[in-house]
């Protein structure tokens, strides 16, 4: 009996994944042929994600190539006025279901990755802004601007990396850079 239940459960899961993928492809195709991106971001994409099970409350903007959890779309909740920029990835599970809540008027910059642990709820607070390219795995308080540290130079390249060079040659050609002293730092 347990084996039969497992087969039925896996069959339902496969059907759901298949339908989910069809909806994702339809979203991309329709977005490509409809010229008004404002319409697509405010209407079509949220509509299609709602069909998949994402809980969208109010009017939100979802940019192009945004990945909202494929396995547990119901684990993502987006509130009124939220903005999710291009190529963000939002995953509401790691080895089990979690929940991601993006509250009212939160803004997520392009290329961000938001990941929630199993059994947890990760909340992006109301009015919070996450800068582009950030990775978020913990709550962000309301009305907070946050993001990854900006790019830092680590070394000087003396042997450019190319197809003609091996990785070892490139690595041997690296020269460390000393950190610049900040004003007010002791010598």
- Section 3-8 average pLDDT: 59
Question: HSE on the CB side for 73, CA within 13 Å?
Answer: 22
Q: What is the mean pLDDT of the chain?
A: 83
What is the domain partition of the chain in residue ranges? Answer: 2-146, 152-180
State the pTM of this model: 0.71
Backbone φ and ψ of 4, nearest 5°: -65, -45
Residue 135's SS3 state is strand
What is the sign of the dihedral through the CA atoms of 47, 50, 56 and 62? negative
DSSP one-letter code for 133? T
Q: Give the model's pLDDT for residue 167.
A: 82
Kindly state which CATH superfamily the domain 2-146 is placed in. Answer: Hexapeptide repeat proteins (2.160.10.10)
Q: Give the model's pLDDT for residue 142.
A: 95
Q: Give the model's pLDDT for residue 120.
A: 94
Cα angle, residue 98 at apex, residues 46 and 63 outer, rounded to 5°: 25
Q: Give the model's pLDDT for residue 166.
A: 85
Render pLDDT for 112-127 as a digit per residue (tens, 0 to 9): 999 998 899 999 999 9
């Amino acid at each position: 009996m347990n084996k039969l239940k497992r087969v039925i459960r896996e069959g339902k899961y496969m059907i759901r994944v298949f339908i989910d993928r069809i909806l994702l492809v339809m979203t991309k195709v329709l977005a490509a042929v409809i010229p008004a991106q404002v319409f697509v971001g405010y209407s079509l994409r949220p509509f299609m994600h709602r069909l998949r099970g994402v809980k969208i409350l109010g009017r939100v903007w979802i940019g192009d190539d945004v990945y909202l959890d494929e396995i547990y779309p119901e684990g993502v909740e987006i509130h009124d006025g939220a903005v999710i920029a291009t190529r963000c990835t939002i995953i509401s599970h790691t080895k089990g279901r979690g929940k991601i809540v993006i509250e009212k008027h939160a803004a997520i910059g392009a290329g961000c990755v938001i990941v929630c642990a199993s059994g947890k709820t990760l909340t992006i607070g109301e009015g919070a802004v996450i800068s582009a390219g950030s990775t978020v795995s913990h709550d962000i308080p309301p009305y907070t601007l946050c993001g990854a540290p900006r790019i830092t130079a680590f070394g000087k390249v003396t042997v450019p990396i190319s197809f003609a060079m091996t990785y070892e040659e490139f690595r041997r050609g690296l020269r460390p850079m000393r950190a610049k002293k900040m004003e007010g730092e002791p010598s």
